[in-house]
């Protein structure tokens, strides 16, 4: 589908001169082009004037309303006058104080979403708001507690707007700036305190880590997660930045990445990264290979003819058939999305956000026309573990051990193992599985990932930019699982697929270190559109100082081995069962579902049972 909603405006570009500064920049570039300006460019510059002028007038109306409300609420006069003063300053002009910067960001967030784009990153919080915070603290205009209260108001407005739905609002912390200097500062820790005080699953916090990240950051984040404040994804700057540079970004720009949505990086203020345009079910491509391009659930031909598997004499023939099915699916999907993209400027012109993105004003081009410096499309690969496990099942059962014929295996998956439970249990329990540190599985998993990424990166999108690979699952593990038949890994038809880039649920039997060892065997510099592994830990394993040390060590080791990102749940099954029976006792229990967190009580029983399982 055409994803116009995984995007972040250029917050610092907005803040630098306010909307009046952006309007002036548009006028200067329009004058520079003169008679050479195309009708499309003229229309774009006219639109900038219209929407920014209207936004400024809207904020002035809010200021008038705040002043008028003083008569009705005299006990709140000081607050209302403060709101009015801020709304008369921003977004017209550059903010000078923390309150002004937060109000600017909130108003523009709302206006851009009204325009039609979902703002999937609210910026690198401890970098873009730090100058205003430190200026207020140093001048004595705000105490630290007052600043924290402002942050809590700001975040609670986001939460009250959505009540935790729409996947949460992403704020980024830590990492480095364009010059490679560590970002973490006092505002980082103040924000963590505000998040802990609110105890809501939204906002969600992405934390970037570098080799120079202070140990204090690791320990603070790990401690919050183990105590149930788990709306975090932890990202490793090293593979993220190298992956972006490989795809054409400068090193300085790559260092300024933001995780968009959940874990999909894009350059702050310079990239229109439509990170969720394409989602590919890797396991479905393998299912097509088992049936010569025909979907066994529908009986329809979906992919090309790649041969009757019964005629294959060696495993490599089956693997090549799978690769050809995958290539066909990815290429066709990119073609469809490119056709959609060409209609974007007409369907959804986006001047409000385009004026904040580098090069759009200079070029006089909207974001849908490719006006941004970087224009990428994401292609998300789902179910790596299921694909690897299914290929291994055929390899071991049919080609290596010759325990079953290909015909017997095909009949079994076509019938969802009905009457063949011994075969299913053999495939489930006697064949190596991805996520256990087993060399055969790790080598095959990496081969699948490498071929998928290379296929994606050979293609271009409809705005002239690259298509970028990702490996994660989100809630597609359920929706795509419903459309995937039984597989030769022992999985029943229409059941959920594997979470993230890790093992299939319940199959990582060699422990968390083996799981992370398998995952870090992948080359994450080839997943510039993101990846993540889900880790579940028992509370006793991270209890006390020794447990905190172990948790920090786990994170650091994963990153040192090239891991991309991880997210954690810390709970035990008995606690979750008790929460099902007595939800009133667990009103604030949070679960990291995938790229976002929710209250456990808001999940359906089937979803709750999945975490218990």
- Report the candidate in 382, 368, 362 with the shortest Cα–Cα distance to residue 31: 362
User: What CA–CA distance (Å, rounded) separates 484 from 470?
Assistant: 20
User: What CA–CA distance (Å, rounded) separates 382 from 507?
Assistant: 17
pLDDT beyond 90 at 503: yes
Angle 421-424-427 from CA coordinates, rounded to 5°:
150
Encode pLDDT of 167-213 as tens digits. 788 999 999 999 999 999 999 999 999 999 999 988 999 999 999 99
Encode pLDDT of 336-373 as tens digits. 999 989 888 888 899 999 999 989 999 999 999 999 99
| Residues 305-317: b if buried by 16+ CB within 10 A, e if exposed | ebeebeebeebeb
pLDDT beyond 80 at 3: no
pLDDT beyond 70 at 164: no
Average pLDDT of the residues in 488-500 = 96
So what's the pLDDT on residue 4? 74
Helices (H), 116-185: 125-128, 130-139, 144-162
Task: Name every residue whose Cβ is closer than 8 Å to that of residue 401 and which is 6 or more positions away in sequence.
Answer: none
Strands 590-592 and 204-209, sheet pairing: unpaired
User: What CA–CA distance (Å, rounded) separates 237 from 23?
Assistant: 35
Confidence of residue 5 (pLDDT cuts 50, 70, 90): confident
Task: Name every residue whose Cβ is closer than 8 Å to that of residue 160 and which is 6 or more positions away in sequence.
Answer: none
User: What CA–CA distance (Å, rounded) separates 374 from 358?
Assistant: 9
So what's the pLDDT on residue 191? 98
Encode pLDDT of 391-429 as tens digits. 999 999 999 999 999 999 999 999 999 999 999 999 999
So what's the pLDDT on residue 165? 67
Average pLDDT of the residues in 149-153 = 97
Strands 257-260 and 232-236, sheet pairing: unpaired
Q: How many residues does the chain have?
A: 613
So what's the pLDDT on residue 166? 67
Encode pLDDT of 314-334 as tens digits. 999 999 999 999 999 999 999
Sign of the torsion formed by the C-alpha atoms of 95, 97, 99 and 102: positive
Helices (H), 256-400: 282-290, 315-341, 344-347, 351-354, 360-363, 384-394
Q: Give bridge partners of residue 279 from the DSSP assignment.
A: 380
So what's the pLDDT on residue 168? 80
CB 132 within 8 A of CB 96: yes
Global confidence as pTM = 0.95
Chain position carrying tokens 């020794």: 546
Encode pLDDT of 236-266 as tens digits. 999 999 999 999 999 999 999 999 989 999 9
Confidence of residue 613 (pLDDT cuts 50, 70, 90): confident
What is the average pLDDT score of the chain? 95
Q: Give bridge partners of residue 74 from the DSSP assignment.
A: none
């Amino acid at each position: 589908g055409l994803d116009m909603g995984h995007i972040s405006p250029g917050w610092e570009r907005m803040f630098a001169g306010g909307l009046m500064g952006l309007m002036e920049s548009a006028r200067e570039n329009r004058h520079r082009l003169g008679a050479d300006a195309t009708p499309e460019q003229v229309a774009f510059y006219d639109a900038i004037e219209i929407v920014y002028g209207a936004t400024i007038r809207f904020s002035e109306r809010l200021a008038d309303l705040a002043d008028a409300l003083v008569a009705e609420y005299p006990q709140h006069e000081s607050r209302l006058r403060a709101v009015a003063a801020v709304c008369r300053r921003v977004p017209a002009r550059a903010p000078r104080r923390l309150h002004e910067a937060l109000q600017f960001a909130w108003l523009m967030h709302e206006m851009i979403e009204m325009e039609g784009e979902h703002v999937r990153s609210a910026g690198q919080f401890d970098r873009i708001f730090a100058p205003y915070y430190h200026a207020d603290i140093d001048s004595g205009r705000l105490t630290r507690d007052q600043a924290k209260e402002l942050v809590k108001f700001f975040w609670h407005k986001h939460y009250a707007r959505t009540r935790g739905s729409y996947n949460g609002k992403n704020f980024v912390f830590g990492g480095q700036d364009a010059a490679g200097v560590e970002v973490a500062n006092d505002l980082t820790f103040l924000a963590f305190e505000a998040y802990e005080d609110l105890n809501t699953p939204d906002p969600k916090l992405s934390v970037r880590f570098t080799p120079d990240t202070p140990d204090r950051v690791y320990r603070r984040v790990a401690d919050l997660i183990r105590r149930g404040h788990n709306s975090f994804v932890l990202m490793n700057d090293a593979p993220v930045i190298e992956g972006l540079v490989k795809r054409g970004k400068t090193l300085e720009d790559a260092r300024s990445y933001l995780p968009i949505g959940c874990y999909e990086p894009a350059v702050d203020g310079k990239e229109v990264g439509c990170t969720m345009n394409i989602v590919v079910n890797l396991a479905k491509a393998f299912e097509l290979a088992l049936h010569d391009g025909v979907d066994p659930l529908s009986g329809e031909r979906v992919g090309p003819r790649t041969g009757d598997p019964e005629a294959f004499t060696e495993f490599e023939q089956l693997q090549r058939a799978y690769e050809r099915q995958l290539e066909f699916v990815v290429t066709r999907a990119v073609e469809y999305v490119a056709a959609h993209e060409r209609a974007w400027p007409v369907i959804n012109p986006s001047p409000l956000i385009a004026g904040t993105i580098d090069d759009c004003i200079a070029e006089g081009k909207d974001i849908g026309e490719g006006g941004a410096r970087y224009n990428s499309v994401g292609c998300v690969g789902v179910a790596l573990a299921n694909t690897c496990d299914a290929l291994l099942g055929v390899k071991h059962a049919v080609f290596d051990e010759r325990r079953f014929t290909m015909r017997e295996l095909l009949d079994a998956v076509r019938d969802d193992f009905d009457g063949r439970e011994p075969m299913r249990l053999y495939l489930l329990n006697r064949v190596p599985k991805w996520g256990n540190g087993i060399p055969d599985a790790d080598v095959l998993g990496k081969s699948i990932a490498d071929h998928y990424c290379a296929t994606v990166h050979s293609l271009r999108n409809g705005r002239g930019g690259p298509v970028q690979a990702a490996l994660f699952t989100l809630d597609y593990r359920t929706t795509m699982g419903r459309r995937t038949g039984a597989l030769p890994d022992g999985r029943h038809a229409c059941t959920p697929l594997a979470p993230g880039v890790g093992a299939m649920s319940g199959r990582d039997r060699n422990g968390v270190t083996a799981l992370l060892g398998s995952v870090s065997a992948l080359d994450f510099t080839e997943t510039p559109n993101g990846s993540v592994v889900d880790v579940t830990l028992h509370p006793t394993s991270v209890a006390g100082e020794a447990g905190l040390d172990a948790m920090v060590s786990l994170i650091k080791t994963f990153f040192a081995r090239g891991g991309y990102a991880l997210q954690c749940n810390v709970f035990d099954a008995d606690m979750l069962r008790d929460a099902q029976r007595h939800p009133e006792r667990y009103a604030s229990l949070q679960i990291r579902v995938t790229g976002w967190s929710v209250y456990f009580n808001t999940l359906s029983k089937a979803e709750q049972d999945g975490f218990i399982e």
